[in-house]
Chains A and B, each alone.
Chain A
Amino acid sequence: MLAISKDLYDKIVAHARADHPDEACGLIAGPVGSDRPQRFIPMTNAARSPTFYEFDSTEQFHVWTEMDDHDEEPVVIYHSHTATEAYPSRTDVSYASEPGAHYVLVSTRDPEHSEFRSYRITDGQVTEEPVTVVE
């Protein structure tokens, strides 16, 4: 299960809406082993594409170094799908490289309603999990 604060949930959705129709991406860092998403880090989609995302590699290096210095890890890795459902594509599964992270997908295909779902992706297996929004 992913437990996430209302504030962080809203920030992910707002980022996805702001970058629509391109895919938005980023992460939420939290203390190592805590499973608590705390620090919102929107990332540049180096691909700037409506069908693909990739963290900018230089930005990623700095963010990962900073997490290491603070004993943090990526608790949530998020991105948006802008014309399809919020379900991991084959591409998402093949590049998933953080077995400990919650992979959040937001779909912005409907302008009125944002679909927000979370998954574990381990060894090519996708498992959807419930999302609980806490105050």
Chain B
Amino acid sequence: MAIEVRIPTILRTYTDGAKQVEGSGATLAELLVDLEQRHGGLRERLVDDGGLRRFVNVYLNDEDVRFLAGLDTPVKDGDTVTVLPAVAGGAI
């Protein structure tokens, strides 16, 4: 068992085109560190010094992790983590 991570089209350059990859860790932060070993560059697209990037949405199962504990959100085998770029913009 592992944690399944769904990758959006725009970030599949880091996963050799794979739509989903697997990883492990006790928290979302640990999972991203684990993924980085096999998918170099991915982590930087998701987090910066302040935590999760503002315009990237990360979901644990069907919950936005911002409503959970962000990078400290506990994860476990069998969970699904989904990454979606936020859809945003504006006139200015």
Could you tell me which A residues sit within 8 Å of B by CB distance? 23, 25, 27, 43, 47, 49-55, 57-58, 60-62, 64-65, 77, 79, 81-84, 88-89, 91-92, 95-100
Kindly list chain A residues whose C-beta atoms are within 8 Å of the C-beta of B59. 61
A64 to B59 alpha-carbon distance, docked (Å):
12
The answer to whether A55 touches B87 (Cβ under 8 A) is yes
A49: B residues at CB distance < 8 A: 90
Per-residue interface assignment for chain B, residues 79 to 92, with 1 indicating a CB less than 8 Å from any chain A CB and 0 otherwise:
00010111111111
Query: What is the CB-to-nearest-CB distance from A108 to chain B, in angstroms, rounded to a whole number?
Result: 11
Question: Smallest CB-CB separation from A62: which chain B residue?
Answer: B62
Quick one: given A57-B57, A61-B59, A61-B82, are A95 and B88 in contact (CB under 8 Å)? Answer: yes
A55 touches B91 (CB 8 A): no
Provided the pairs A57-B66, A60-B84, A77-B87 are in contact, do residues A95 and B10 lie with their beta carbons within 8 angstroms? no
Question: Please, which residues of chain B bring their CB within 8 A of the CB of A96?
Answer: 89
* A65: B residues at CB distance < 8 A: 62
Lowest 7 CB-CB distances: which A-B pairs, in order? A97-B85, A52-B90, A92-B89, A54-B88, A55-B87, A81-B91, A95-B88
